[in-house]
Amino acid sequence: MQYTRHPAWSVLLRLFHWCFVLSIVVLVTTGFYIHFPWTNTMIEGSSSFPVATMRYIHFIAAFVFTGALLARLYLLLFGNRQERFWDFLPITGRNIKNLGSSVKYYLYLDDNEDHRLGHNALAGIAYFVTFIVACLQILSGFYMLYPESVGWQTWGLKLFGTQQQGRLLHYLFMWYFILFAATHVYIVVWNDIRSKEGLISSIFNGTKFLPEKPEQN
């Protein structure tokens, strides 16, 4: 079968992806430390204060994470065709059909993949849920970060309950990202081996390969 190369992901989407990934690695590491500091938190006779340093790094990564997500929210509406939400959510007939065939393909019930330039609808749902959890993570984070802000405290209290409840939710959301990352990396590697689209390289160079004849949309 002949494959041709097509541009799939804009530079901004790829930048989002890698800023998101790197910031999450830093946020999870520093988050675990804030949750349960695994070193001495005050070193006698030294001016080092590891918890404050970890929190500082957490907040820098948090701003990168927030900036990346804002860029992705913009692309959901104004990105290229593959990046807009109606291309990958099961809200059109074509996407609902793709959801069914993707589930069969993933369960090894059907070897014929419904090739698409963008995400399949199953992956699309997972990414969309991830964006929602990311929004909640950001809101609960800023709720904790700005205890003196009336705006953040009013909305934070309504959405997450008390500071301590918000903090617990923030911690639990972290587990979503850990589980998502493990499953996601497994599935993209699985897909890259099974189909010849060059899926993993697409998130670096922005292009994907599709069979020449079959429908690409």
Shorter beta-carbon distance to ligand HEM: residue 19 or 45 = 19
How many angstroms separate the CA atoms of 13 and 56, rounded? Answer: 27
Under a CB-based contact definition with an 8 Å cutoff, are residues 5 and 211 in contact?
A: no
Near ligand HEM by CB under 6 A: residue from 121, 138, 169, 210? 138
Cβ at position 203, least distance to ligand HEM in Å? 4
How many angstroms separate the CA atoms of 166 and 186, rounded? Answer: 31
**Integer distance in angstroms from the first to the last C-alpha of the chain?**
18
How many angstroms separate the CA atoms of 9 and 215, rounded? Answer: 19
Residue number of the CB atom closest to ligand HEM: 141
Cβ at position 170, least distance to ligand HEM in Å? 5
Near ligand HEM by CB under 6 A: residue from 94, 104, 184, 194? 184
| Binding region for ligand HEM (CB under 6 A) out of 97-105, 107-115, 134-142, 209-217 | 134-142
Near ligand HEM by CB under 6 A: residue from 3, 127, 152, 155? 127
How many angstroms separate the CA atoms of 79 and 9, rounded? Answer: 9
Cβ at position 46, least distance to ligand HEM in Å? 20
Closest by Cα among 126, 134, 14 to 75: 14
Residue 60 CB partners (closer than 8 Å, separation 6+)? none
Residue whose entry in the numeric block shows the structure tokens 């997450």: 160
Hey, is 207 helix, strand or coil?
Answer: strand
User: Taking CB under 6 A as the rule, does residue 139 contact ligand HEM?
Assistant: no
Helices of type H across the chain:
11-35, 50-78, 85-88, 93-106, 121-145, 150-160, 163-194, 199-205
Residue span 76-115 as binding mask against ligand HEM, x where in contact by CB under 6 A, dash where not: ----------------------------------------
- Residues numbered 18 to 47 that lie near ligand HEM (CB under 6 A) are 20-21, 24, 27-28, 31-32, 34-35
Shorter beta-carbon distance to ligand HEM: residue 13 or 210 = 13
Instruction: Write out the residues near ligand HEM by the rule CB under 6 A.
Output: 13, 17, 20-21, 24, 27-28, 31-32, 34-35, 55, 58-59, 62, 65-66, 72, 119, 123, 127, 130, 137-138, 141-142, 144-145, 167, 170-171, 174, 177, 180-181, 184-185, 188, 199-200, 202-203
